Structure 1
Amino acid sequence: MLNKINRISGSVQCKRCLNVFEMEIDVRKKLSELRRFTEGQKEDMKNRAPVEWMKPVLPKCEHCGRENSVTPVLSGVKKKAINWLFLFLSQTLGCCTIKQLKYFCKHTKNHRTASKNHLVYIAYSGLSRQFASECFDF
């Protein structure tokens, strides 16, 4: 499993209280959730990201307790420093800008002149093949 990596963390910020903090994700649990989700959605995707990936339900803030308020910190982060695995596992790739998604597609040798929902789909399928190919079949 990802070279025995069990947890991964990323920098996030609450949209309400504006606190910036590190959030940890259980890799095994999130891969299992993603696998179940993609198995149920595979027929409906048709090379387009589902709404759940485009407008993800965001985690609860551990500081103010607000639901659906914690987003990954992406502004001010250089594209080459983006934590793609964290975004993939937290299912927040939809929070990326089109420029950031095109950067990902460029460096994974994927076509990058497409709509945002297609770019998000490409990012999810590319990351699933790269990090956990045995778990996913897009």
Structure 2
Amino acid sequence: MPSSSRQSHRDNGSTLKWPAQISPAELAPPSEAQAHRFGAGRARNDNKPAWEPTIQPPYPWASNMRAKVLSLEELISKNIIVISGDVHCMECKKQFQIEYDFPSKFYDVVSFLVNGNDNMHDVIKDCKLCGRRKCVQPVISGKKRETNWLFLFLGQMIGYCNLAHLKYFCKHNNLPTSEAKDPLVKLAYTALHCQLDQKAYDLYNQ
């Protein structure tokens, strides 16, 4: 959850850069053969279910790989143009859904990312139920695999994730996990942009 000062997650004068050692190919889900090898290589605990390399996608726009979303092409081919997620009002204590038009919201967020705009911060929304201003926050599942990453990306709310969720995301995207929270938030935005459009990788390394 963001600090009370709600500072920007973008350092002044900085631009988002992808770690040089990470290639776009590493963001792609492993092949079926690789997935089986990953699962087979883990130590088994007879008291726990075997670790599975894939999961049941928690949302129509999520991949069956942890912390991955479908690409632009896949979303378009499936006619997925509305992305929704649960939010909670801190004033009236009620929960409701927010929907985003994916194409328009995607390009709004990307424009902030690629231009290094200092306004890339956690957006605090108004409550449509009680009318109070700047009191709505996303509902983030305690189960990390069920995090609604695309909804958080489009709503500019990734900063509401705690450090454990951010490290989980980076771990499953082959990204450094030893950073402080703000750099991990930046990596999450960048990685999600590249998952949606692999051509985006070049934008961060010009």
Q: What TM-score do the two structures reach when normalised by structure 1?
A: 0.83
Cα deviation for residue 52 of structure 1 reads 3.2
Q: Which residue of 1 aligns with 2:190?
A: 125
Give the whole-Å Cα distance in 1 for the aligned partners of 2:199 and 2:154.
15
Q: How does 1:51-66 map to 2 (within 5 A)?
A: 52-53=120-121, 56-66=122-132
Give the aligned partner of residue 103 of structure 1. Answer: 168
Match of 1:7 in 2: 82
User: How far does residue 64 in structure 1 lie from its aligned partner after superposition?
Assistant: 1.0
Looking at CA atoms only, which structure, 1 or 2, has the larger radius of gyration?
A: 2
Give the partner amino acid of 1:22.
Q
Alpha-carbon displacement from aligned partner over 1:12-65 (angstroms, at most 9, x marks no partner)? 1011111111111111111121122123317xxxxxxx5633xx1212111011
Structure 1 unaligned blocks of 5 or more: 43-49
Greater per-residue strand proportion? 1
| Corresponding position of 1:46 | none
Q: Runs of 5+ in structure 2 lacking a partner?
A: 1-71
Q: Contact 2:86–2:138 (CA<8 Å) still a contact in 1?
A: yes
- Give the partner amino acid of 2:180: S
Q: Which has the higher contact order (CA 8 A, sep 6+)?
A: 2
> Does the Cα contact within 8 Å between 1:35 and 1:135 map onto a contact in 2?
no
Per-residue deviation at 1:113? 0.5
Paired with 1:133 and 1:59, the residues of 2 have a C-alpha distance of 30
Contact 2:125 2:135 in 1 (8 A): yes
Distance 1:133 1:17 in 2: 41
User: What is the root-mean-square deviation of aligned Cα atoms in Å?
Assistant: 1.9
Q: How does 1:35-114 map to 2 (within 5 A)?
A: 35-41=110-116, 52-53=120-121, 56-74=122-140, 77-114=142-179
Residue in 1 aligned with 2:5? none
Letter in structure 1 aligned against 2:132: R
Q: Percent identity?
A: 37
Matched residues in 2 for 1:6 and 1:135: separation? Answer: 20
Q: Could you tell me which amino acid in structure 2 is paired with residue 58 of structure 1?
A: I
Structure 1 outlier segments of 4+, above 2 Å: 1-4, 50-53, 132-138
Are the equivalent residues in 1 in contact too, given 2:163–2:181 (CA < 8 A)?
A: yes
